[in-house]
Structure 1
Amino acid sequence: MPYQWTTEDSTNAPQLRLWPHRSLPRRGFAAMILLAFVLGTVPLYGLIGTVFLWGLLPFILAMVGALWWGLERSYRDAEILETLTLRPDDMLELRHVPAKGEAQSWECNVYWTRVEMHVQGGPVPFYLTLAGNGRLVEIGSFLSEDERKALHGELADFIRSHRK
Protein backbone atom coordinates (compact mmCIF):
# COMPACT_ATOMS: atom_id res chain seq x y z
CA MET A 1 0.00 0.00 0.00
CA PRO A 2 1.28 3.47 -0.75
CA TYR A 3 0.90 4.61 2.85
CA GLN A 4 2.77 3.76 6.01
CA TRP A 5 2.27 4.26 9.74
CA THR A 6 5.49 5.31 11.50
CA THR A 7 6.59 7.29 14.53
CA GLU A 8 8.32 10.62 14.22
CA ASP A 9 11.85 10.28 15.59
CA SER A 10 12.18 13.47 17.63
CA THR A 11 8.80 13.44 19.42
CA ASN A 12 7.83 9.76 19.10
CA ALA A 13 4.51 10.95 17.66
CA PRO A 14 2.46 8.55 15.48
CA GLN A 15 2.55 9.56 11.84
CA LEU A 16 0.81 8.43 8.65
CA ARG A 17 2.63 9.05 5.37
CA LEU A 18 0.73 8.76 2.06
CA TRP A 19 2.10 8.92 -1.49
CA PRO A 20 0.83 7.98 -4.97
CA HIS A 21 1.44 4.46 -6.24
CA ARG A 22 4.15 4.10 -8.88
CA SER A 23 3.44 1.25 -11.29
CA LEU A 24 6.74 1.75 -13.12
CA PRO A 25 9.85 1.93 -10.91
CA ARG A 26 12.98 3.76 -12.09
CA ARG A 27 14.59 0.50 -13.16
CA GLY A 28 11.58 -0.26 -15.35
CA PHE A 29 11.76 3.29 -16.72
CA ALA A 30 15.33 2.70 -17.91
CA ALA A 31 14.39 -0.68 -19.39
CA MET A 32 11.43 0.87 -21.23
CA ILE A 33 13.57 3.60 -22.79
CA LEU A 34 16.22 1.06 -23.84
CA LEU A 35 13.58 -1.27 -25.29
CA ALA A 36 11.94 1.57 -27.23
CA PHE A 37 15.31 2.63 -28.63
CA VAL A 38 16.33 -0.91 -29.64
CA LEU A 39 12.96 -1.76 -31.20
CA GLY A 40 12.81 1.63 -32.88
CA THR A 41 16.16 1.14 -34.55
CA VAL A 42 15.43 -2.41 -35.83
CA PRO A 43 13.92 -1.09 -39.12
CA LEU A 44 17.03 1.05 -39.61
CA TYR A 45 19.47 -1.89 -39.75
CA GLY A 46 18.59 -2.62 -43.36
CA LEU A 47 19.13 1.03 -44.23
CA ILE A 48 22.70 1.32 -42.93
CA GLY A 49 24.84 2.95 -45.59
CA THR A 50 21.92 4.64 -47.36
CA VAL A 51 20.62 8.17 -47.26
CA PHE A 52 17.22 6.91 -45.99
CA LEU A 53 18.79 6.09 -42.62
CA TRP A 54 19.32 9.79 -41.95
CA GLY A 55 15.75 10.55 -43.00
CA LEU A 56 14.21 8.10 -40.52
CA LEU A 57 16.66 8.41 -37.62
CA PRO A 58 15.38 11.80 -36.36
CA PHE A 59 11.83 10.40 -36.08
CA ILE A 60 13.02 7.37 -34.10
CA LEU A 61 15.02 9.62 -31.76
CA ALA A 62 12.04 11.99 -31.42
CA MET A 63 9.84 9.03 -30.45
CA VAL A 64 12.32 7.90 -27.77
CA GLY A 65 12.68 11.50 -26.55
CA ALA A 66 8.90 11.95 -26.33
CA LEU A 67 8.59 8.71 -24.36
CA TRP A 68 11.35 9.86 -22.01
CA TRP A 69 9.71 13.27 -21.52
CA GLY A 70 6.26 11.75 -20.91
CA LEU A 71 7.48 9.28 -18.30
CA GLU A 72 9.57 11.95 -16.54
CA ARG A 73 6.55 14.26 -16.48
CA SER A 74 4.49 11.47 -14.93
CA TYR A 75 7.11 11.02 -12.21
CA ARG A 76 7.22 14.77 -11.47
CA ASP A 77 3.42 15.05 -11.31
CA ALA A 78 3.28 12.22 -8.77
CA GLU A 79 5.67 13.82 -6.27
CA ILE A 80 2.86 14.31 -3.77
CA LEU A 81 3.23 13.59 -0.08
CA GLU A 82 0.62 13.77 2.66
CA THR A 83 1.55 13.44 6.32
CA LEU A 84 -0.89 13.05 9.21
CA THR A 85 0.82 13.52 12.57
CA LEU A 86 -0.56 13.26 16.08
CA ARG A 87 1.38 15.82 18.11
CA PRO A 88 2.00 15.45 21.86
CA ASP A 89 -0.60 18.18 22.58
CA ASP A 90 -3.32 15.88 21.07
CA MET A 91 -3.53 17.93 17.89
CA LEU A 92 -3.77 16.15 14.55
CA GLU A 93 -1.88 17.89 11.76
CA LEU A 94 -2.42 17.02 8.11
CA ARG A 95 0.23 18.39 5.76
CA HIS A 96 -0.24 18.11 1.98
CA VAL A 97 2.83 18.80 -0.17
CA PRO A 98 1.81 18.94 -3.85
CA ALA A 99 4.14 18.42 -6.81
CA LYS A 100 3.85 22.12 -7.63
CA GLY A 101 2.86 24.96 -5.38
CA GLU A 102 2.93 25.57 -1.67
CA ALA A 103 2.30 23.02 1.04
CA GLN A 104 -1.07 23.15 2.79
CA SER A 105 -1.76 22.17 6.37
CA TRP A 106 -4.76 21.59 8.62
CA GLU A 107 -4.91 20.86 12.31
CA CYS A 108 -7.59 19.85 14.76
CA ASN A 109 -7.84 18.35 18.22
CA VAL A 110 -8.01 14.57 17.86
CA TYR A 111 -11.09 14.48 20.11
CA TRP A 112 -13.12 16.56 17.65
CA THR A 113 -11.83 14.92 14.46
CA ARG A 114 -14.21 12.78 12.40
CA VAL A 115 -13.25 10.46 9.56
CA GLU A 116 -15.88 10.50 6.82
CA MET A 117 -16.28 8.28 3.76
CA HIS A 118 -18.35 9.77 0.94
CA VAL A 119 -19.40 6.81 -1.20
CA GLN A 120 -20.89 9.10 -3.87
CA GLY A 121 -20.80 12.80 -4.53
CA GLY A 122 -17.07 13.35 -4.21
CA PRO A 123 -14.52 13.87 -6.97
CA VAL A 124 -13.67 10.15 -6.71
CA PRO A 125 -15.72 7.18 -5.47
CA PHE A 126 -15.29 6.48 -1.75
CA TYR A 127 -13.91 9.96 -1.13
CA LEU A 128 -12.15 10.11 2.24
CA THR A 129 -12.20 13.27 4.37
CA LEU A 130 -11.30 14.46 7.85
CA ALA A 131 -13.70 16.88 9.51
CA GLY A 132 -12.97 19.14 12.44
CA ASN A 133 -12.13 22.67 13.45
CA GLY A 134 -14.86 23.94 11.12
CA ARG A 135 -13.27 22.45 7.99
CA LEU A 136 -13.53 19.39 5.82
CA VAL A 137 -10.23 18.26 4.24
CA GLU A 138 -9.54 15.44 1.85
CA ILE A 139 -6.93 12.80 2.54
CA GLY A 140 -5.51 10.25 0.13
CA SER A 141 -7.46 11.32 -2.96
CA PHE A 142 -4.67 9.85 -5.12
CA LEU A 143 -5.10 6.39 -3.58
CA SER A 144 -7.11 3.67 -5.31
CA GLU A 145 -10.67 2.91 -4.25
CA ASP A 146 -9.67 -0.21 -2.28
CA GLU A 147 -6.80 1.63 -0.58
CA ARG A 148 -9.15 4.44 0.52
CA LYS A 149 -11.57 1.87 1.95
CA ALA A 150 -8.76 0.20 3.93
CA LEU A 151 -7.38 3.55 5.06
CA HIS A 152 -10.82 4.65 6.28
CA GLY A 153 -10.98 1.77 8.74
CA GLU A 154 -7.41 2.30 9.93
CA LEU A 155 -7.92 6.05 10.39
CA ALA A 156 -11.17 5.58 12.26
CA ASP A 157 -9.52 3.04 14.62
CA PHE A 158 -6.50 5.32 15.10
CA ILE A 159 -8.57 8.38 15.99
CA ARG A 160 -10.90 6.35 18.23
CA SER A 161 -7.95 4.88 20.14
CA HIS A 162 -6.28 8.29 20.71
CA ARG A 163 -9.30 10.17 22.03
CA LYS A 164 -9.08 10.98 25.72
Structure 2
Amino acid sequence: MPYSWSENTDSHPAQELRLWPHQSLPPKGFAAFILITYLLFTVPLYGLLGTKLLWGLLPFLMITLAGVYYALRRNDRDRQILEVLTITPDSTHLLHRSAKGAEQEWDCNTYWVRVALYPKEGPVPNYITLSGSGREVEIGSFLTEEERLTLYAELNDRLRQATRQ
Protein backbone atom coordinates (compact mmCIF):
# COMPACT_ATOMS: atom_id res chain seq x y z
CA MET A 1 0.00 0.00 0.00
CA PRO A 2 1.28 3.46 -0.77
CA TYR A 3 0.79 4.62 2.80
CA SER A 4 2.19 3.72 6.19
CA TRP A 5 1.35 4.33 9.83
CA SER A 6 4.04 5.08 12.36
CA GLU A 7 3.98 2.93 15.45
CA ASN A 8 2.34 4.40 18.52
CA THR A 9 4.41 4.19 21.72
CA ASP A 10 3.46 5.01 25.29
CA SER A 11 6.06 7.78 25.50
CA HIS A 12 4.92 9.34 22.20
CA PRO A 13 1.13 8.97 21.73
CA ALA A 14 1.04 10.62 18.28
CA GLN A 15 0.12 8.47 15.30
CA GLU A 16 1.41 9.51 11.91
CA LEU A 17 0.05 8.46 8.54
CA ARG A 18 2.11 9.13 5.41
CA LEU A 19 0.41 8.78 2.01
CA TRP A 20 1.96 9.00 -1.45
CA PRO A 21 0.92 8.01 -4.99
CA HIS A 22 1.94 4.57 -6.23
CA GLN A 23 5.36 4.68 -7.93
CA SER A 24 5.03 1.99 -10.58
CA LEU A 25 8.23 2.80 -12.50
CA PRO A 26 11.38 2.85 -10.34
CA PRO A 27 14.55 4.56 -11.66
CA LYS A 28 16.07 1.29 -12.90
CA GLY A 29 12.85 0.46 -14.72
CA PHE A 30 12.82 3.92 -16.29
CA ALA A 31 16.38 3.49 -17.58
CA ALA A 32 15.61 0.02 -18.92
CA PHE A 33 12.45 1.25 -20.65
CA ILE A 34 14.26 4.13 -22.37
CA LEU A 35 17.11 1.82 -23.46
CA ILE A 36 14.74 -0.82 -24.84
CA THR A 37 12.68 1.85 -26.62
CA TYR A 38 15.86 3.28 -28.17
CA LEU A 39 16.99 -0.17 -29.32
CA LEU A 40 13.59 -0.96 -30.80
CA PHE A 41 13.55 2.38 -32.63
CA THR A 42 16.93 1.61 -34.21
CA VAL A 43 15.97 -1.87 -35.49
CA PRO A 44 14.26 -0.54 -38.66
CA LEU A 45 17.26 1.70 -39.31
CA TYR A 46 19.74 -1.18 -39.68
CA GLY A 47 18.44 -1.93 -43.17
CA LEU A 48 18.86 1.72 -44.09
CA LEU A 49 22.53 2.05 -43.07
CA GLY A 50 24.49 3.86 -45.76
CA THR A 51 21.43 5.47 -47.37
CA LYS A 52 20.10 9.02 -47.29
CA LEU A 53 16.76 7.72 -46.03
CA LEU A 54 18.44 6.87 -42.71
CA TRP A 55 19.16 10.55 -42.09
CA GLY A 56 15.58 11.41 -43.04
CA LEU A 57 14.06 9.02 -40.47
CA LEU A 58 16.61 9.36 -37.66
CA PRO A 59 15.54 12.86 -36.47
CA PHE A 60 11.89 11.80 -36.20
CA LEU A 61 12.76 8.70 -34.20
CA MET A 62 14.97 10.73 -31.85
CA ILE A 63 12.24 13.36 -31.41
CA THR A 64 9.80 10.57 -30.54
CA LEU A 65 12.26 9.11 -28.03
CA ALA A 66 12.78 12.56 -26.49
CA GLY A 67 8.99 12.93 -26.22
CA VAL A 68 8.67 9.59 -24.42
CA TYR A 69 11.51 10.58 -22.07
CA TYR A 70 9.90 13.96 -21.33
CA ALA A 71 6.45 12.41 -20.74
CA LEU A 72 7.81 9.83 -18.28
CA ARG A 73 9.86 12.46 -16.40
CA ARG A 74 6.86 14.80 -16.24
CA ASN A 75 4.69 11.98 -14.92
CA ASP A 76 7.33 11.23 -12.26
CA ARG A 77 7.39 14.90 -11.15
CA ASP A 78 3.59 15.04 -11.02
CA ARG A 79 3.49 12.04 -8.66
CA GLN A 80 5.64 13.72 -6.00
CA ILE A 81 2.66 14.28 -3.71
CA LEU A 82 2.88 13.67 0.03
CA GLU A 83 0.18 13.79 2.68
CA VAL A 84 1.02 13.51 6.37
CA LEU A 85 -1.75 13.08 8.92
CA THR A 86 -0.73 13.38 12.58
CA ILE A 87 -3.24 12.28 15.20
CA THR A 88 -2.75 13.00 18.90
CA PRO A 89 -5.37 12.82 21.67
CA ASP A 90 -5.66 16.62 21.53
CA SER A 91 -5.32 17.55 17.86
CA THR A 92 -5.30 16.23 14.33
CA HIS A 93 -3.08 17.85 11.72
CA LEU A 94 -3.05 17.20 7.96
CA LEU A 95 -0.24 18.45 5.73
CA HIS A 96 -0.66 18.14 1.96
CA ARG A 97 2.43 18.85 -0.15
CA SER A 98 1.62 19.07 -3.86
CA ALA A 99 3.93 18.07 -6.70
CA LYS A 100 4.93 21.71 -7.18
CA GLY A 101 5.95 21.99 -3.52
CA ALA A 102 3.00 24.07 -2.31
CA GLU A 103 1.81 23.07 1.16
CA GLN A 104 -1.70 23.14 2.57
CA GLU A 105 -2.42 22.48 6.23
CA TRP A 106 -5.49 21.67 8.29
CA ASP A 107 -5.83 21.42 12.09
CA CYS A 108 -8.69 20.31 14.27
CA ASN A 109 -9.40 19.03 17.77
CA THR A 110 -9.34 15.22 17.46
CA TYR A 111 -12.62 14.86 19.33
CA TRP A 112 -14.45 16.81 16.59
CA VAL A 113 -12.83 15.14 13.56
CA ARG A 114 -15.24 13.15 11.42
CA VAL A 115 -14.27 10.85 8.57
CA ALA A 116 -16.70 10.70 5.65
CA LEU A 117 -16.79 8.24 2.77
CA TYR A 118 -18.55 9.22 -0.44
CA PRO A 119 -18.97 6.00 -2.46
CA LYS A 120 -20.19 7.73 -5.63
CA GLU A 121 -20.64 11.46 -4.91
CA GLY A 122 -16.98 12.54 -4.90
CA PRO A 123 -14.59 13.24 -7.76
CA VAL A 124 -13.32 9.64 -7.42
CA PRO A 125 -15.14 6.52 -6.18
CA ASN A 126 -14.91 5.98 -2.41
CA TYR A 127 -13.80 9.57 -1.82
CA ILE A 128 -12.61 10.18 1.76
CA THR A 129 -12.79 13.49 3.60
CA LEU A 130 -11.97 14.68 7.10
CA SER A 131 -14.18 17.38 8.57
CA GLY A 132 -13.82 19.62 11.57
CA SER A 133 -13.13 23.25 12.51
CA GLY A 134 -15.63 24.33 9.88
CA ARG A 135 -13.75 22.74 6.97
CA GLU A 136 -13.85 19.53 5.01
CA VAL A 137 -10.59 18.32 3.46
CA GLU A 138 -9.84 15.38 1.20
CA ILE A 139 -7.31 12.71 1.99
CA GLY A 140 -5.83 9.99 -0.21
CA SER A 141 -7.67 10.88 -3.42
CA PHE A 142 -4.76 9.41 -5.42
CA LEU A 143 -5.18 5.95 -3.87
CA THR A 144 -7.12 3.13 -5.56
CA GLU A 145 -10.76 2.46 -4.63
CA GLU A 146 -9.87 -0.56 -2.49
CA GLU A 147 -7.04 1.30 -0.73
CA ARG A 148 -9.41 4.17 0.11
CA LEU A 149 -11.91 1.71 1.63
CA THR A 150 -9.16 0.20 3.78
CA LEU A 151 -7.89 3.66 4.72
CA TYR A 152 -11.41 4.76 5.71
CA ALA A 153 -11.71 1.89 8.17
CA GLU A 154 -8.22 2.49 9.56
CA LEU A 155 -8.83 6.23 10.00
CA ASN A 156 -12.03 5.58 11.93
CA ASP A 157 -10.24 3.09 14.20
CA ARG A 158 -7.23 5.34 14.83
CA LEU A 159 -9.37 8.41 15.57
CA ARG A 160 -11.52 6.36 17.94
CA GLN A 161 -8.37 5.12 19.72
CA ALA A 162 -6.98 8.64 20.00
CA THR A 163 -10.12 10.06 21.57
CA ARG A 164 -10.13 7.28 24.21
CA GLN A 165 -6.66 8.18 25.49
Query: TM-score higher than 0.5 here?
Result: yes
Corresponding residue for 1:63? 64
Across the aligned residues of Structure 1 and Structure 2, the Cα RMSD in angstroms comes to 1.5
Deviation at 1:18? 0.2
CA offset at residue 7 of structure 1?
A: 5.1
Larger displacement relative to structure 2 (89-98 or 143-152): 89-98
**Deviation, structure 1 residue 53:** 1.1
SS of equivalent to 1:84: strand
Q: Which runs of 4+ in 1 moved over 6 A?
A: none
Residues 87 and 159, structure 2, Cα contact 8 Å, conserved in 1: no
C-alpha distance in 1, partners of 2:157/2:55?
64
Provide the residue aligned with 2:31 in structure 1.
Answer: 30
Amino acid at match of 1:80: I
Match status 1:91 vs 2:94: no
Aligned to 2:20: 19
Match of 1:115, SS state, is strand
Letter in 1 for 2:102: E
- Helix, strand or coil: the match of 1:107? strand
Structure 1 residues not aligned, in runs of 5+: none
Aligned to 2:5: 5
Task: Tell me the distance in 2 between the aligned counterparts of 1:41 and 1:131.
Answer: 55
Describe the SS at the equivalent of 1:162. helix
Residue 47 of structure 1: CA displacement?
1.2
Q: Percent identity?
A: 53
Q: CA deviation at 1:84?
A: 0.2
The question of whether the paired residues in 1 share the 8 Å contact of 2:115 and 2:156 is answered with: yes
TM-score, length basis structure 2: 0.92
1:124 corresponding residue in structure 2: 124
Q: How far apart in 2 are the matches of 1:16 and 1:101? A: 19
Separation of aligned partners in 1, 2:129 and 2:121? 12
Superposition TM-score, scaled by structure 1 size: 0.93
Deviations 1:45-104 (A, max 9, x none): 1111111111111111111100000000100111100000124x7211000000125200
> How many residues matched?
161
Given that 2:94 and 2:105 are in contact with CA atoms closer than 8 Å, whether structure 1 keeps it comes out as: yes
State the match for 1:134 in structure 2.
Answer: 134
Q: Work out the CA distance in 2 between the residues paired with 1:73 and 1:102.
A: 17
* SS of residue paired to 2:137: strand
Partner of 1:41: 42
